[in-house]
Amino acid sequence: MKRRTLLNAELSGLIAAMGHGDLLVIGDAGLPVPPRVRCIDLAVTGGVPGFFEVLDAVLSELVVERSAAAVEADPELIDRFSKRQIGVLERLPHEDLKLASRDARAIVRTGEFTPYANICLWSGVAF
C-alpha cells in the first residue's frame, strides 16, 4: 500500500506519467469536461470531496511550474490558491480557462460547489 497522501490509483498514475509542461485541471462539480479529455471523477456529493482537499493531495506529489485561475473567482479563493505551491498564478477569463482545459491530460472533478473553484496546473520538473 502506498504511504503518501494521494491514494487514488488513477490520479496518482496520471501524475507519475506527466512530463514538463503537461496540464492537469482540478475543477468544481460544474466544470465541463471537453470531449476526448480524460475525466477523473472524484465527486460523491455536494462538497465531497472539497476542492482544496483534492488540490492539496495533488500538490503533495505534483511539481507545478505555473497555474491559472478565473478572473471571476472570489478574491478569497485566489488568496487560498496563492498560499500553495502553484508556481506563477495567471488570471484568465473563465471562458479562456475552459478553452485551455481542452489541452489537459485530465480534468479532476471534485464535489465542490463554490463558483469558479477551478485551477489549471502545468507541471514543472523536480530537478
What's the predicted TM-score (pTM) here?
0.95
Residue among 5, 7, 10, 20 flagged as catalytic: 20
| pLDDT tens digit at each of 127 positions of the chain | 566 689 999 999 999 999 999 999 999 999 999 999 999 999 999 999 999 999 999 999 999 999 999 999 999 999 999 999 999 999 999 999 999 999 999 999 999 999 999 999 999 998 8
Residue 99 and residue 77 in contact, taking contact as beta carbons nearer than 8 Å: no
Q: Verify whether residue 20 is a known catalytic residue.
A: yes
DSSP the chain: ---SS---HHHHHHHHH--TT-EEEEE-TTPPPPTTSEEEE---BTTBS-HHHHHHHHHTT--EEEEEEETTS-HHHHHHHHTSS--EEEEE-HHHHHHHGGG-SEEEE----STT--EEEEE----
Known binding-site positions for substrate: 28, 94, 116-118
> Which domains are present in the chain?
9-123 (3.40.1650.10)
Known binding-site positions: 28, 94, 116-118
